[in-house]
Structure 1
Amino acid sequence: MKKILILLLISLAVAYAVPDPRGLILNLENGELCMNSVQCKSKCCHRTSGLSLARCADKAPENSECSATTLYGVYYKCPCERGLTCEVDKSIVGSITNTNFGICHDIGRSKE
């Protein structure tokens, strides 16, 4: 157990010693390959199909297609920008297959 802990600490030290660690694992720019939305600056890891590679992308603007936030962290349609809500009819099958799509709306504007 001590050996594993020491190896982990050495790995972290090497990662922090890199002059510009941006882009190794976190803070990825749009267009860079990702495995989860947490890695992206935009917080959206997007893929076009089940066989395509996922890349960081901008979040969905108002009146465009969106996905509700999922546990997977990879989306076929990015979640909405801050301040917008993805109005979607959620289903169990859609949650499993990541196909609960909707439209981004500004809830504040619809009350006016």
Structure 2
Amino acid sequence: MGLSLQDDGEICINSMQCSSKCCQHDTILGIARCTHKAIENSECSPQTVYGVYYRCPCERGLSCEGDKTILGAITNTNYGICLDVGRSKQ
């Protein structure tokens, strides 16, 4: 009997439960749900808090460019914007 991954919209406790690999909640007391990874020009977060994101990481090929300071990590405001770094360097 294998483990099945949760689909987008289903309640989760950790990102590893989600087929998208992103379990996200809006507030610390909010219910976390699986959701898709962030698309280009969307808010993102490179960090999780115990496996749950406030903003999902970027889709493959995109980079989360934003506040990477230690203060941003402590206050959980280290959100960025998903950018196609390869395209922007051309």
Of structures 1 and 2, the larger Rg is shown by 1
Residue in structure 1 matched with residue 82 of structure 2 by the alignment:
104
1:87 aligns with 2:65: yes
Q: Is residue 56 from structure 1 mapped to residue 34 from structure 2 by the alignment?
A: yes
Would the aligned equivalents of 1:70 and 1:98 in 2 still touch at CA under 8 Å?
no
The runs of at least 4 aligned residues of structure 1 exceeding 6 Å deviation read none
For 2:63, give the aligned amino acid.
T
Q: Which of the pair has the greater relative contact order for Cα pairs under 8 Å at 6+ separation? A: 2
User: What's the TM-score once normalised by structure 1's chain length?
Assistant: 0.72
- Aligned AA (1:61): I
Following superposition, the deviation at residue 51 of structure 1 comes to 1.1
Aligned-residue Cα RMSD (Å) equals: 1.7
TM-score (ref. length: structure 2): 0.88
Answering whether residue 21 of structure 2 is matched by residue 43 of structure 1, we say yes
Higher helix share: 1
Give identity over the alignment, percent. Answer: 61
Alignment-mate amino acid for residue 31 of structure 1: G
- Count residues with an aligned counterpart: 90
Identify unmatched segments of 5+ residues in structure 1: 1-15
| Structure 2 residues not aligned, in runs of 5+ | none
